Amino acid sequence: MHRLSAGIGLAFAFTAGAAGAQVSPGAGPVVEVIARMTDAVNHGQMPTAFAAFTASPSIVEDGPPYRWQGPGAPQAWIESMGANAQAKGMTAIDMKLSPATRVEIDGERAYAIVPGLLSYGMKDGHSERASGLLTFTLLKVGGEWKIDTLVWTGPQAKP
């Protein structure tokens, strides 16, 4: 999420510690990279957001073309989502992340599930919301966790 066209700002909020969560010991650094990426997006710091990904990640979202993969995938994803938002008349987008419900770590690989609530305003004044899940796979690269896969799943937004 870069500098989105049409002045759309994505806001992400991330909090920790859900009741009943299945979180591996040592999950802090995994959760931190997800929070760092979303915070960077929130503040329009795209180089920082893009640096949270591996060199050739996969991203799956509910906006065309639905899948981005390889070098440059995060930038292409943000550009596509911005164009999609502009084409649909969205005026503001806000993604709030809830505490991770699952984080598993196996050596240099991690898997995380984070519930999210997407809200956005439309030019005609109404707003829509969709709750879903963000699923991440992460790899340890040079001693740091990097997002290798990001997938959003959930029903279509409703007024």
Domain ranges of the chain: 5-153
CA atoms of 131 and 95, how far apart (whole Å): 9
| Cβ neighbours, 10 Å, residue 145 | 24
Question: Would you say domain 5-153 falls under CATH 3.10.450.50?
Answer: yes
CA distances from 114 to 25, 65, 99, 134, 149 (A): 17, 23, 6, 5, 13
pLDDT of 56-115, one tens digit each? 999 999 888 999 999 999 999 988 988 988 898 988 777 788 899 999 999 999 999 999
